[in-house]
Amino acid sequence: MDRRSFIKVGSAASVAMGLAGGIAEGAEAKPKASEGEGVKNGRIKQSVCKWCYRGVSLDELAAFSAKIGIKGMDLISPEDWPILKKHGLECSMSKSHGIGKGLNRIENHDECLAKIRKSIDETSEAGFPNVICFSGNREGMDDDEGMKNCFIALKQVVGYAEQKNVTLCMELLNSKRNHKDYMCDRTHWGVELAKQVGSDNFKLLYDIYHMQVQEGDVIATIKESHQYIGHYHTAGVPGRNEIGDTQELYYPAIMKAILKTGFTGYVGQEFIPKKGKLESLAEAVRICDV
């Protein structure tokens, strides 16, 4: 299951996966976080994306995450928030509408904005920080027209986000390999939209993996655009797997660059582990704990 499919799947499937996880045939043994494993410095506040951990129940992942110093979990449905709270975690990025059918088309606005407002209400009531949103796919639309339509939609809801102390984050995704035809696929496009919206409660979700694939120049881009970034995601390039020394990005340097900008939000681990799932997560947390 890839992320596009996960976002479309309802809570029932999520619960079913949780019940099946951990003890199903072929599931790996639960690794224990040894003393000293995980966060030591804590200057980077880290979260994790559940969709990357098939075969691991939400309860197991939340317990392990809390043990190694992770503070939040991205893209968890409200009905599962009590599990996060039980382990002292928050939903660091709440769901709203889907990826392909987004804010760049006027005909999508009613549906998308209704879902965004509902998520703002739920997120605010829970005391959580962020709600995700998406530009949608081009489908032949000019990027300038798409930006104008996104602006029209966001101006209808960003004031409400301000009142509720919630930040809307539009995700930057690559259209080169993973999300063909997605419109918000370059940092400068997203930054220009953020400038037009003109609110601290609308920012970008800068996915490091996606932007390395699409445009590269990650550290310089972060330095130039950090005031418009509200959340980060990680993954190794190529392949979207572990973020260690088997891929081309050097995450300790990227984390240090993020810290230098004064960023206090979340960096979410969103790689798909190829080796031991929870062991790979603990390793990634250590790598980013600069």
pLDDT per residue, tens digit, the chain (290 aa), is 555 554 544 444 443 334 334 333 344 444 444 434 789 999 999 999 999 999 999 999 999 999 999 999 999 999 999 999 999 999 999 999 999 999 999 999 999 999 999 999 999 999 999 999 999 999 999 999 999 999 999 999 999 999 999 999 999 999 999 999 999 999 999 999 999 999 999 999 999 999 999 999 999 999 999 999 999 999 999 999 999 999 999 999 999 999 999 999 999 999 999 999 999 999 999 999 99
Question: Does 253 reside within a domain?
Answer: yes
Q: In Å, how far are 38, 83, 91, 94, 241 from 79, measured between CA atoms?
A: 28, 9, 11, 12, 29
Which segments within 109-265 are labelled E, that is strand?
130-133, 167-172, 202-207, 229-234
Question: Does 5 reside within a domain?
Answer: no
- Distance CA(210)–CA(226), nearest Å, equals 16
Boundaries of domain holding 283? 42-288
Instruction: Compute how many other C-beta atoms are within 10 angstroms of the C-beta atom of residue 34.
Output: 9
Q: How many domains does the chain have?
A: 1
Question: Does 57 reside within a domain?
Answer: yes
Q: Specify the CATH number for the domain of residue 242.
A: 3.20.20.150
Question: Does 19 reside within a domain?
Answer: no
Question: Does 8 reside within a domain?
Answer: no
Do the beta carbons of residue 84 and residue 66 sit within 8 Å? no
Question: Does 88 reside within a domain?
Answer: yes
Per-residue pLDDT, 250? 98
Question: Does 16 reside within a domain?
Answer: no
Instruction: Compute how many other C-beta atoms are within 10 angstroms of the C-beta atom of residue 218.
Output: 20
Per-residue pLDDT, 37? 77
Question: Does 178 reside within a domain?
Answer: yes
> Which residues partner with 45 through β-bridges?
266
DSSP 260: H
Per-residue pLDDT, 1? 52
